[in-house]
Amino acid sequence: MSGRLSGAARQKAIGGLDGWREVDGRDAIAKRFEFANFSAAFGWMARVALAAEKMDHHPEWTNVYRHVDVILSSHDAGGVTQRDIRLAAAMDELARQMAP
């Protein structure tokens, strides 16, 4: 288990991510990913699922048509940890790889 991020380390870690924001009223980060269509969104989710399984860290997410809303938080630590930051960065990279 990683420790919860706080203070300057937390701000630096989240600030290094593209488009991620802190969730109001919860120790979590979130982002909406937008794809060309449902197939692209679902394909991205499948790729992320494989990466998440390797990391043993799983997202909270919903998919509606071409949008995927993601929330990341480490439940065992009670908030955002480096595991969340690593998974967020992996999600961003996989989305970049799928961009037209």
Q: Which two tokens stand for residue 72?
A: 């990341």
pLDDT in tens, 23-61: 999 999 999 999 999 999 999 999 999 999 999 999 999
- Please provide the CATH number assigned to the domain covering 7-98: 3.30.1360.20
The DSSP H or E segment spanning 21 is strand 21-22
d(CA 59, CA 69): 10
Supply the mean pLDDT for the chain. Answer: 95
pLDDT in tens, 72-89: 999 999 999 999 999 999
Parse the chain into domains and list their residue ranges.
Answer: 7-98
